[in-house]
Each structure stands twice: as C-alpha cells, then as structure tokens.
Amino acid sequence: MAKRIGVLTGGGDCPGLNPALKGLVLGAHHGAGNIEVIGLRDGWKSLVQEDLARMGPSPDQFFGKDQFWKILTPEAVESWDAEGGTNLGSSRTNPYKKGAEREEQVIRNVEAMKLDALVAIGGEDTLGVALKLHRKGVPVVGVPKTIDKDLPGTEYTLGFETAVQIITDEVDRVRTTAGSHSRTFVIETMGRHAGHLALQGGIGAGAYIILIPEHPYNVARVVKLLADRKAQGARYSIVVIAEGARSDTMKEPFSSGSLRDTGFAHVALGGIGELLRAQIEQATDWDLRSVNLSHLQRGGAPGAYDRRMGRTYGAAAADLCRKGDWGKMVTLREGRVTAAPLTDIDGPLLTVDLDREYDTNRYNARRAAIL
C-alpha cells in the first residue's frame, strides 16, 4: 500500500479538477492507514525541476515563487470542490520533449520525494506521459479529464457537463439579441476531433444547425436550411459549430497555423465560425454575427455533476493507490465507476456516433431516440 503519493493536474484547466483533488485527499485519509498526498504545481513542470525535494513545501494556501509542491490535508482542500480551474496550477509541459534526459529527471524527483506513486489528472497528453512512465516502472494512476469527452476507455471525462451547461447558457444569451434584431448567429465551440460539446450544447440551447468534426458539411446546404427556416417566418437562427469541423471542400480543419503552448505541439484551431459566417453572408443579404466561446467553456465553478464525479473519481484514485493497483485509469463504464488499464488511452478517440446521434441531412441531433 502506498504511504505517500504525488498528484498533478496537466493540460487545459476545466471545472471538476479541484473536486477530484478533494476527493483524492479525503479518500487518502479514509480508512486504515492514512496516505500522505503531495500536491505538485503546474503539472509535469514540477517533476522536471532540478531539485524538487528541496524546493518546498509551500504554505498551505499559496505556492511560493520557486516552490513546486505542498502537503494537501483534508482541512486545506475543504472548499475546493466548489472552485473552478485547478488550485495546483497546470501546464502543457512534456517531459519527453527533450528525450530521455527529462524522463530521468522525473524519475529522480519521484525517488527524492519518496513518492510511492503518482496520480495524474488530465487528458490524452497528460495521461500519455503517465503511461510512458508506467512502462518505465513508475507506479501511476490516471484520472480522465477533458471538456471534449473524447478520451478512449471512459464514458465520462471531468469538465464536460459543466462546459455543456456554459455553452447552453451563453447561446441562450445570444438567442435574445438574435431574436430582437432578426439575426443569424454562428457560435463556435471547442472540439478538435470530437463534436460532443457542440452537439450536446447545441441540443441544450436549441440550435437549428450543429456542425461537428465527424461529418464534413456543405456550405450551400447550410445556407438552404437556413433559408428554408427564414421562409417559414423564423426571425433568427443559431448555428453551433465545433472548432474542428470542416466543410466538404476543406482537407483540414481551419487553423491559424500557430503551435499551441509548450510540449505537445498541437496546431491551434479557431476561426471556423467566422469563416462560415462570411460564407453565408456572401451568399445572402442577411444580418449575421459570429461568436467564439473560446475559454469561456472551460471557466467558472463546476456544476453539480462535475463536483460529484470529481469527488468520486478522486476517491477511486485513492482506492487504487491503497490497493497498489498501478497502471490503471479511473473510468466510467456502463454507468459505473471502475478502473481500466491506462493503455486504453492508446485506442481510437471517442467520437460522436453518427448512426445513433446525428442527422447528416439536417445537420443536427437525430429526432429518433430508440433505434
């Protein structure tokens, strides 16, 4: 059984991370044999420091300028489940960007800190690093988070439901001004490879058209659908489009061409909503606007579902540490929280099931629920 574990949050922040940290700490201090939890600052960045063990601990409330770890107690995390983002901080630091040199630094720090295991809370990139370390013999446990909900091996990733609620709320606000001025709005959401956010947020907000990465759209078809709706007397229309969506004339999703942050070198997406707005405007004389929800989707306090799932995922991670069940990821499968091999993240991303969830003719959710 582990006696001392480190925990980090990596990649983009989202609601649900702090509840997971609280769940982990409470779970670690529950039952026979308390487990000490060390909070590691700014994801994998903490573990590539030259001498991590001598850089802390930080005071309970704040990290010092050059301090990268602190002891997490139940008292210290008492109110964390109501807070958005991550109180440990995050980064997109990739220990493998510079080869084996930084991997060895991570392993040295784990040993110097006398950590029996690492709990990594993150998405594909963060858990991919955890998997590589596991293959090198480092005891690791993963907790899945990403508002895109596209991570293989689990039916739920932290942050998704809160992000859907934010999209719904923001589109509701857009709807009132759209109706007042008889406008068509194109709303861009996140969703690089999968359209879960756009689809579920669009359903929640009653969008007329929803465009997702899984199915290329035809601009002329979009215009016709909107024109038909206008001809029926509708004062406004809402189009929701995922950042990774593309038309049938595009080979790749729309991109600025820049690289995002450090380490994992993802090409930054964004702007497809404005591009589509301009294309519709070119074909019509309508009053159109575009809005990119951008980081609004991952901000703010977690909703009730992410608070509950975060607490549960964190507690489950503590259970795995208590059992010494390494190389696993906490997961939701068939409505039940369990654990799966971390190697599952090497599988295909979880995308929208077009046959069951999406009407490729109407560019919206299927109207049939039982197929």
Question: What percentage of residues in the chain have a pLDDT greater than 70?
Answer: 96
pLDDT of residue 262: 55
- CATH superfamily for 163-298 is Phosphofructokinase domain (3.40.50.460)
How is residue 229 written in tokens? 């709706």
C-alpha closest to that of 152 among 192, 96, 194 = 194
Phi, psi for 127 (deg, rounded to 5): -75, -25
Phi, psi for 341 (deg, rounded to 5): -60, 135
Same topology, domains 4-158+302-346 and 163-298? Answer is yes
- Report the amino acid identity of residue 216: P
d(CA 176, CA 170): 10
pLDDT band at 55 (very low <50, low <70, confident <90, very high): confident
**Residue 97 pLDDT > 60, yes or no?**
yes
pLDDT of residue 56: 75
Question: What percentage of residues in the chain have a pLDDT greater than 90?
Answer: 85
What residues pair up with 269 in beta bridges, in sequence order? 255
> Is the separation of the CB atoms in 319 and 31 below 8 Å?
no
What residues pair up with 7 in beta bridges, in sequence order? 39, 119
Return the exposure string of 32-69: e unless at least 16 CB atoms fall within 10 Å of the residue's CB, then b: eeebbbbbbbbbbbbbbbeebbebbebeeeebeeebbb
The contacts of residue 201 (CB under 8 Å, 6+ apart) are 163, 164, 167, 168, 171, 189, 207, 240
> Is the separation of the CB atoms in 313 and 158 below 8 Å?
yes
pLDDT of residue 304: 98
**Residue 32 pLDDT > 60, yes or no?**
yes
d(CA 297, CA 242): 12
Please provide the average confidence, as pLDDT, over all residues in the chain.
93
pLDDT of residue 257: 63
SS3 content of the chain, % helix, strand, coil (to 5): 40, 20, 40
pLDDT of residue 228: 97
pLDDT of residue 263: 65
Give pLDDT tens digits for 237-282: 999 999 999 999 999 998 866 655 556 667 788 899 999 999 999 9
User: Which residue is catalytic, options 148, 150, 306, 344?
Assistant: 148
Asked: is 4-158+302-346 a CATH 3.40.50.450 domain? The reply is yes
Termini Cα distance of the chain: 47
How is residue 11 written in tokens? 């990649």
Give pLDDT tens digits for 147-206: 999 999 999 999 999 999 999 999 999 999 999 999 999 999 999 999 999 999 999 999
The contacts of residue 250 (CB under 8 Å, 6+ apart) are 216
pLDDT band at 229 (very low <50, low <70, confident <90, very high): very high
Active site residue 148: yes
pLDDT of residue 270: 87
| C-alpha distances in Å from residue 53, one per residue of 101, 110, 280, 332 | 18, 9, 58, 35
Q: 122-131, 250-259, 331-340: which has the minimum mean pLDDT?
A: 250-259
pLDDT of residue 33: 77
| C-alpha distances in Å from residue 321, one per residue of 1, 36, 124, 209, 310 | 7, 11, 21, 45, 17
pLDDT band at 89 (very low <50, low <70, confident <90, very high): very high
Give pLDDT tens digits for 306-319: 999 999 999 999 99
DSSP class of residue 58 equals P
**Residue 103 pLDDT > 70, yes or no?**
yes
DSSP 267-302: EEE--HHHHHHHHHHHH----EEEEE-GGGGG-S--
Boundaries of every domain in the chain: 4-158+302-346, 163-298
